[in-house]
């Protein structure tokens, strides 16, 4: 073992904090402990039946072979048709690349466009894999801190001030994991205008596009005119909207040359995403869309319940948060709990210690905000049933009350 030397990039790479937190919770569950697990951001619903049946039909029809490395043309067409139907945006199949989940899409975009010397602007709090994937591509993440007061949105001034001659890309996640922040349309448009003026590419991660709550609005970044669209690389997929995390289908929509380069990379790296999953995704996009709304409504009920429970925490415990306009996360600041006795006299000094103590003493699993570039915060995924949410919030409240 001692003679094995990892590559310099891998020596620095940490495992995904969300997956690591979920693994830790699972480990305790395997020991027979009843852990209330709010770590992973994945819908608890089973994939809709029409999609499951389409996968079975695809297998039985013999779609069990390699496909084109960048995905089947039917799925690229279905992606284009969905953007036309849902947002009035026109793309051609040559602008679409299908990959093994949106995470793979992001990796492909960064590996195709960025390298040493390039800077990538990332508003914090950001999804755990963003900075790691930028570094893996050899580029430098430039983290822009945002605050609860702005609903965790990066302002136009902040964006402008962060741009240097080395800036290659802005990575924007709207609605956001972990904050649930949904950018107001006017602010999104202001960012888009700056991207055009300064000729910056924007990787717009829109994976939570269908999970929007009253008061918030989703606009695809590419919708602000052709000059914006030609600088926008959309990443999205079926994981969240169609409860298809395990199927591993994501996509990138962008300029034809970039998509072609990414396809070359994918053809050397992974070949095609799973053929059966691709046919299932065609049905998800082309088939009836009512299950998407039905699941969104359930998430909205859970969001409302979680917020109702958490609002009194502000005055009772000094816990602060911005209410999520989209996605399925509650992201709250627990720094008022540091250094004072929590349940059983436990004391913690930071959010990571808070999560460890909460797991050990109260058997509730959250993810520390440190992993999202937001010290002092913790993330609770409410993509789980109301009963579990009630039990979890009761346990967190008792733990914090001390």
One residue of 35, 36, 41, 97 binding ligand GLU per CB under 6 A: 41
One residue of 101, 125, 151, 325 binding ligand PMP per CB under 6 A: 101
Residue number, 40 or 134, with CB nearest to ligand GLU: 40
Q: DSSP letter at 377? A: E
Least separation in angstroms between CB 237 and ligand PMP: 4
For the segment 111-170, give every residue that binds ligand PMP (CB under 6 A).
127
Run of H or E including 237: strand 232-237
Q: How far apart are CA 373 and CA 279, in angstroms?
A: 37
Number of residues that bind ligand GLU (CB under 6 A): 10
Least separation in angstroms between CB 2 and ligand GLU: 31
Least separation in angstroms between CB 204 and ligand PMP: 11
Contact 204, 233 (CB under 8 A): yes
Based on the shown chain and the rule CB under 6 A, indicate whether residue 183 belongs to the binding site for ligand PMP.
no
Q: With CB under 6 A as the contact rule, which of the stretches 101-109, 188-196, 266-274, 364-372 interacts with ligand PMP?
A: 101-109
Residue number, 141 or 237, with CB nearest to ligand PMP: 237
Based on the shown chain and the rule CB under 6 A, indicate whether residue 177 belongs to the binding site for ligand GLU.
yes
Angle at 168 between CA 217 and CA 128, to 5 degrees: 60
CA torsion through residues 172, 177, 178, 179, sign? positive
Contact of residue 237 among ligand PMP, ligand GLU, none (CB under 5-8 Å per partner type): ligand PMP
Contact of residue 250 among ligand PMP, ligand GLU, none (CB under 5-8 Å per partner type): ligand PMP
Which residue in the shown chain puts its C-beta closest to ligand PMP?
A: 101
Contact 378, 125 (CB under 8 A): no
Q: How far apart are CA 20 and CA 26, in angstroms?
A: 10
Order of strands, edge to edge, in the sheet holding 250-253? 96-99, 250-253, 232-237, 201-205, 167-173, 119-124, 140-145
Contact 333, 319 (CB under 8 A): yes
Number of residues that bind ligand PMP (CB under 6 A): 13
Based on the shown chain and the rule CB under 6 A, indicate whether residue 373 belongs to the binding site for ligand PMP.
no
Angle at 327 between CA 88 and CA 227, to 5 degrees: 35
Q: With CB under 6 A as the contact rule, which of the stretches 11-19, 78-86, 268-276, 348-356 interacts with ligand GLU?
A: 11-19
Write out the two tokens for 314. Answer: 């502000």
Q: How far apart are CA 73 and CA 93, in angstroms?
A: 7
Residue number, 93 or 237, with CB nearest to ligand GLU: 237
For residue 202, with 0-12 CB atoms within 10 Å meaning exposed, 13-18 middle and 19 or more buried, which class applies? buried
One residue of 173, 220, 275, 346 binding ligand PMP per CB under 6 A: 173
One residue of 39, 67, 95, 177 binding ligand PMP per CB under 6 A: 177
Q: Show the DSSP H helices in 255-385 as ranges.
A: 256-269, 275-286, 290-317, 351-357
Residues forming the site for ligand GLU (CB under 6 A): 16, 18-19, 40-42, 103, 128-129, 177
Residues forming the site for ligand PMP (CB under 6 A): 41, 101-103, 127, 173, 177, 205, 207, 237, 239, 245, 250
């Amino acid at each position: 073992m001692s003679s094995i030397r990892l590559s310099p990039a891998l020596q620095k790479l940490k495992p995904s904090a969300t997956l690591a937190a979920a693994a830790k919770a699972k480990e305790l569950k395997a020991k027979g402990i009843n852990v209330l697990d709010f770590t992973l951001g994945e819908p608890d619903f089973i994939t809709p039946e029409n999609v499951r049946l389409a996968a079975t039909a695809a297998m039985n029809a013999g779609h069990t072979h390699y496909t084109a490395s960048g995905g089947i043309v039917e799925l690229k067409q279905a992606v284009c048709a969905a953007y036309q139907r849902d947002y009035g945006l026109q793309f051609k199949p040559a602008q679409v690349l299908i990959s093994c989940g949106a995470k793979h899409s992001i990796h492909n975009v960064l590996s195709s466009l960025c390298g040493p010397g390039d800077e990538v602007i990332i508003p914090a709090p950001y999804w755990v894999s963003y900075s790691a994937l930028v570094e893996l591509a050899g580029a430098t993440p430039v983290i822009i801190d945002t605050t609860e007061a702005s609903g965790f949105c990066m302002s136009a001034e902040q964006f402008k001030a962060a741009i240097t001659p080395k800036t290659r890309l802005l990575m924007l996640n709207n609605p956001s994991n972990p904050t649930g922040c949904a950018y107001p349309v006017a602010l999104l448009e202001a960012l888009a205008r700056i991207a055009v003026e300064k000729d910056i590419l924007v990787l717009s991660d829109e994976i939570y596009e269908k999970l929007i709550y009253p008061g918030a609005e989703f606009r695809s970044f590419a919708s602000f005119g052709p000059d914006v669209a030609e600088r926008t690389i959309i990443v999205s997929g079926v994981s969240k909207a169609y409860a298809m995390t395990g199927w591993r289908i994501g996509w990138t929509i962008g300029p034809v040359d970039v998509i072609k380069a990414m396809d070359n990379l994918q053809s050397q790296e992974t070949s095609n995403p799973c053929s059966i999953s691709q046919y299932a995704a065609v049905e998800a996009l082309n088939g009836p869309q009512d299950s998407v709304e039905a699941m969104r409504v359930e998430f909205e009920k859970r969001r409302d319940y979680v917020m109702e429970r958490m609002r009194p925490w502000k005055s009772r415990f000094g816990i602060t948060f911005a209410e999520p306009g989209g996605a399925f996360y509650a992201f709250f600041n627990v720094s008022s709990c540091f250094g004072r006795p929590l349940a059983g006299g436990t004391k913690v000094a930071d959010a990571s210690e808070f999560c460890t103590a909460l797991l050990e003493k109260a058997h509730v699993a959250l993810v520390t905000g440190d992993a999202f570039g937001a010290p002092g915060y913790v993330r609770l995924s409410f993509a789980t049933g109301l009963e579990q949410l009630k039990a979890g919030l009761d346990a967190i409240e008792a733990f914090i009350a001390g």
